[in-house]
Amino acid sequence: MSASPDTKAANQMWGGRFAEGPDAIMTAINASIGFDKRLYAQDIAGSRAHAAMLAAQGILSNKDAEAIGEGLLTVLSEIEGGNFPFRVELEDIHMNVEARLKEIIGEPAGRLHTARSRNDQVAVDFRLWVRAQCDAAIDGLTALMAAFVRQAEAGADWVMPGFTHLQTAQPVTWGHHMLAYVEMFARDRSRFEDARRRMNECPLGAAALAGTSFPIDRHATAAALGFDRPTANSLDSVSDRDFALEFLSASSICAMHLSRFAEELVIWSSAQFRFVRLSDRWTTGSSIMPQKKNPDAAELLRAKLGRILGATVALFTIMKGLPLTYSKDMQEDKEQVFDAADSLMLGLAAMTGMVGDMNANRPVLAQAAASGFSTATDLADWLVRELGLPFRDAHHVTGTLVAMAEGKGCDLPDLSLSDMQSVHAGIRADVFDVLGVENSVRSRRSYGGTAPDQVRAQVARWKGLLGLS
Ligand code: ARG
């Protein structure tokens, strides 16, 4: 975008009191058209609703409103066709659209800005854009949850090690692990739904900050743009960016969840773990080491939170301490939100693809589940249940047996009954039943536990909620 010669002239939109045009560097720092052109569809929708309302209220003639409405559609098709002459000296999307409208329809274009300001205009445009991104995030999360539910359904009873501190803790089921992420992404989805509900109020008609003396109908424009109601305070309407902050906050939590599963994929797909095989579609090779299959998509997903949280911190910092109402600082909101939204949508789509393609390595998972004394808690529970030991004593007996097994270089089920009885004389042969991982997971039937029955019940619940067959 090059500055055209009339950069030197006073601005045609607000230049009445200006004798000179802005410095070229002023134009560069002031202009937002380079990025806010992404709001073109919302800007045109807002202007069309505004013009129609002005005519319905008798503020604008029907003839002018029609010319404006039609002209705006021409502008829309020019932008969508890629042949719209964006001009940096016109600062932003709002003035670019209006100036072009004037070239197309002439004088009536100048009447569109009656009872409006760029302050309420940008507030409504940006809200519409962020609202659409909430919808996109909700859809993306729904698809991702479905992919995890499919994995859980296939592997409701596949055993794997469960970890705390990344140390083997207790055997769990693959399905249970997958459903843990369904819970996380369901909370994320509800955060976007909640934010969307709260942001769905229309600031249009707040005008510059104080409202307007024209008899506008804010309920009509709110309804035309799909809002639940108009905002109730004109000062708040033009100075509020909570909707963007809530979107960024929800995006940050969601990206944090994505990064956690991404990290698990990086670990699980390594040669040392081999818990999963990632498909060729989501990995890359190395230009020097022919054996490599790198989990690049997972690594990038792990990193995305850095960007998204960075945008969140940036916007909080931009908004902090701003006096009411609008300040130009707020123009810095858009690039942060655009970048975060792009990263999030790409991340959700990539994760959905990876989860769909992911292959669990069942034999390796089963072997890992049985190692690392993973059923030590089952042994302690058995001592409590069958021999009436206090749990603390059972814990101690079990710890002694683990040390014994470790000394012999074997796992708990490999100890003989007499080994066990040398630590506690009351131990019987049926203890071996609880030392098997299959029995271990099957026994954890408490609500929300890892038992395959519980997992199947949760899979059924989620399939119902997600409308999956
Ligand atoms: N480009 C501006 C923004 O993004 C639009 C609002 C300008 N308002 C003003 N009073 N200068 O914030």
* φ, ψ for residue 415, nearest 5 deg: -70, 150
DSSP state, 90? G
Tell me the pTM. 0.93
Amino acid 1: pLDDT: 43
Candidates 376, 380, 373, 368; CA nearest to 411 is 373
Q: What is the Cα–Cα distance from 338 to 39, expressed in whole angstroms?
A: 10
Q: What is the Cα–Cα distance from 344 to 346, expressed in whole angstroms?
A: 5
Position 42 confidence tier, pLDDT thresholds 50, 70, 90: very high
Q: Tell me the pLDDT tens digit for each residue of 279-305.
A: 889 888 878 787 878 999 999 999 999
Q: Tell me the pLDDT tens digit for each residue of 45-57.
A: 999 999 999 999 9
Measured from the CB, is residue 239 less than 6 Å from ligand 1?
A: no
What average pLDDT does this structure show over 121-132?
Answer: 98
Q: Tell me the pLDDT tens digit for each residue of 316-374.
A: 999 999 999 999 999 999 999 999 999 999 999 999 999 999 999 999 999 999 988 98
Measured from the CB, is residue 120 less than 6 Å from ligand 1?
A: no
Ligand 1, atom 1, residue with closest C-alpha: 92
State which amino acid sits at residue 238: V
Number of H helices, E strands in the chain: 19, 6
Amino acid 7: pLDDT: 46
What average pLDDT does this structure show over 91-116?
Answer: 98
Per-residue CA distances from 313 to 8, 244, 339, 452 (Å): 37, 12, 13, 42
Measured from the CB, is residue 122 less than 6 Å from ligand 1?
A: yes
Measured from the CB, is residue 32 less than 6 Å from ligand 1?
A: yes
Amino acid 9: pLDDT: 67
Amino acid 230: pLDDT: 98
Angle, helices 93-105 vs 40-56, to 10°: value is 60
State which ligand 1 atom lies nearest to the alpha carbon of 328. 12
Task: For residue 89, report the distance from its CA to the centre of ligand 1, in Å.
Answer: 14
Ligand 1, atom 7, residue with closest C-alpha: 118
Position 19 confidence tier, pLDDT thresholds 50, 70, 90: confident
What average pLDDT does this structure show over 423-452?
Answer: 94
In a mutational test of the pocket of ligand 1, which residue from 96, 204, 322, 331 has the highest number of ligand atoms less than 8 Å from its CB? 331
Measured from the CB, is residue 119 less than 6 Å from ligand 1?
A: yes
What lies within 8 Å, CB to CB, of 53 at 6+ separation is: 216, 217, 220, 221, 224
State which amino acid sits at residue 32: S
Cα 41–chain centre separation? 23
Amino acid 295: pLDDT: 93
SS3 97: helix
Ligand 1, atom 4, residue with closest C-alpha: 331
Amino acid 2: pLDDT: 43
Per-residue CA distances from 297 to 258, 264, 302, 372, 452 (Å): 11, 13, 9, 31, 31
Q: What is the Cα–Cα distance from 188 to 171, expressed in whole angstroms?
A: 28
Ligand 1, atom 11, residue with closest C-alpha: 328
Task: For residue 326, report the distance from its CA to the centre of ligand 1, in Å.
Answer: 8
Q: Which helix (H) or strand (E) holds 126?
A: helix 118-154
- 205: its two tokens: 């008609």
State which ligand 1 atom lies nearest to the alpha carbon of 92. 1
- 93: its two tokens: 């999307």
What average pLDDT does this structure show over 434-455?
Answer: 94
Q: What is the Cα–Cα distance from 467 to 443, expressed in whole angstroms?
A: 30
In sequence order, the β-bridge partners of residue 230 are 202
Amino acid 309: pLDDT: 98
Amino acid 359: pLDDT: 96
Amino acid 8: pLDDT: 54
Q: What is the Cα–Cα distance from 175 to 154, expressed in whole angstroms?
A: 7
* Average pLDDT score over the chain: 95
Q: Is the pLDDT assigned to residue 450 strictly greater than 70? A: yes
- Across 59-92, b (16+ Cβ under 10 Å) vs e yields bbeeebbbbbbebbeebbebbeeeebeebbbbbb
Residues above pLDDT 90, as percent of the chain: 91
Residues above pLDDT 70, as percent of the chain: 98
Measured from the CB, is residue 326 less than 6 Å from ligand 1?
A: yes
Q: Is the pLDDT assigned to residue 176 strictly greater than 60? A: yes
Q: What is the Cα–Cα distance from 56 to 77, expressed in whole angstroms?
A: 26
Q: Tell me the pLDDT tens digit for each residue of 373-391.
A: 989 999 999 999 999 999 9
Position 5 confidence tier, pLDDT thresholds 50, 70, 90: very low
- 87: its two tokens: 């001009």
Residue listed under structure tokens 């939109």: 13
Q: Tell me the pLDDT tens digit for each residue of 206-246.
A: 999 999 999 999 999 999 999 999 999 999 999 999 999 99
Ligand 1, atom 2, residue with closest C-alpha: 331
- 193: its two tokens: 């739904």
Amino acid 4: pLDDT: 46
Measured from the CB, is residue 118 less than 6 Å from ligand 1?
A: yes
Measured from the CB, is residue 92 less than 6 Å from ligand 1?
A: yes
Per-residue CA distances from 203 to 18, 234, 346 (Å): 30, 7, 30
Task: For residue 446, report the distance from its CA to the centre of ligand 1, in Å.
Answer: 57
Task: For residue 347, report the distance from its CA to the centre of ligand 1, in Å.
Answer: 31
The CA-CA-CA angle for residues 4, 10, 14, to 5°, reads 115
Angle, helices 118-154 vs 174-199, to 10°: value is 160
What lies within 8 Å, CB to CB, of 180 at 6+ separation is: none
State which ligand 1 atom lies nearest to the alpha carbon of 93. 1
Which positions are catalytic? 165, 286
- 126: its two tokens: 């940006």
Could you give the maximum distance between any two Cα atoms of the chain, in Å?
Answer: 101
Q: Where are the alpha helices (DSSP H) in 229-373?
A: 234-239, 242-268, 296-319, 333-357, 362-370
Torsion of CA 143, 129, 333, 262, to 10 degrees: 10
Measured from the CB, is residue 318 less than 6 Å from ligand 1?
A: no
Q: Is the pLDDT assigned to residue 76 strictly greater than 70? A: yes
